[in-house]
Amino acid sequence: MKTRQLGRSGLGVSAVSLGCMGMSMNYGEPRDRTEMIVLLRQAVELGVTHFDTAEVYGPFVNEELVGEGLAPVRDKVTIATKFGFDIDAATNKPTGKFTSRPEHIRAVCEASLKRLGTDVIDLFYQHRVDETVPIEDVAGTVRDLIAEGKVKHFGLSEAGAETIRRAHAVQPVAALQSEYSLWSRDPEADVLPVCEELGIGFVPWSPLGQGFLTGTVRPDQTFNEKDVRSWFPRFTPEAMKANMALVDHVKAIAERRSATPAQVAIAWLLAQKPWIVPIPGTTKLHRLEENLASADLELSAADVEELTASASKVEIQGGRGTGHEEYK
């Protein structure tokens, strides 16, 4: 597996890494814990060195899963987790609000360290911007946690360019994690340029468009009520039918390059910048192997240009569906 540097942070990771959320939530029933522990260890054997989780995934259980799965190889991998969602202590369910008060960040850090079974968090993201707390206070709190040896690197997620600048001035931001793929190109206008300017790595979540870009989703497909796609605007039958034009372009390149659509979609991201590290998620070994092979698929400049131009001509139907459509 090839490796990449997340900006100028000094954090080197596998060029294609692993998002672990889907093992515990958002795409149907949580997967069998034992099977997922096996998959995490298989990922390491295949060269993955960077794993992404968050306290809100589950909540809590995904961190525990990742911690147990990676315990035997902890010295060979980096683990990213996140703070910032308000979780009701009585029900262990997210309230739908954000909170990044300094005392909350500290409490999450301590709890995440225990669940992960580690003494340091390699990359600690603010999961969503909390407009009630100055970003300088957030960055300052993480700076203190770094000084105390509990965190190594600071990250932001779904943040806007000005927020990134303000945070970076207090504590250098190692990575920004936001949705980015051929059908979600929002970061290109302002966010990617500021990342390049400041030397910040970029970690695209959902690089396969919640699976849509793999070409395996049918326009008439329905989804389990525990699958976020059952209510995401881009997955209504009408939207899927319209958005399939983008998949057709990806399939055309894939056929020419003897690759799969998923591999082409990830390779396109890798071709954008050398400090971009996608984190596709999966619960299946054969999909993991397929996704990781994207690191060895080098699209030509003509391929990248053709795919970018073709994607630009497709008017994607439906919002991203996260409920946080605008960067803050």
Catalytic, 125? Answer no
Q: Report the C-alpha gap between 225 and 234 in whole angstroms.
A: 15
Catalytic residue among 27, 57, 180, 327: 57
Residue 154, strand partner residues: 124, 173
Q: Report the C-alpha gap between 67 and 241 in whole angstroms.
A: 40
Angle at alpha carbon of residue 123, lines to 169 and 155, rounded to 5°:
35
Residue 323 to residues 20, 108, 216, 228, 319, Cα–Cα distance (Å): 21, 23, 25, 12, 9
Query: Residues near 262 by Cβ (< 8 Å), separated by ≥ 6?
Result: 208, 213, 214, 215, 280, 287, 290, 291, 294
Radius of gyration of the chain (CA): 19
Please give the distance of CA 298 from its chain centroid, rounded to a whole number: 22
Q: What does the block give as tokens for 90?
A: 């009585």
- Catalytic positions are 57
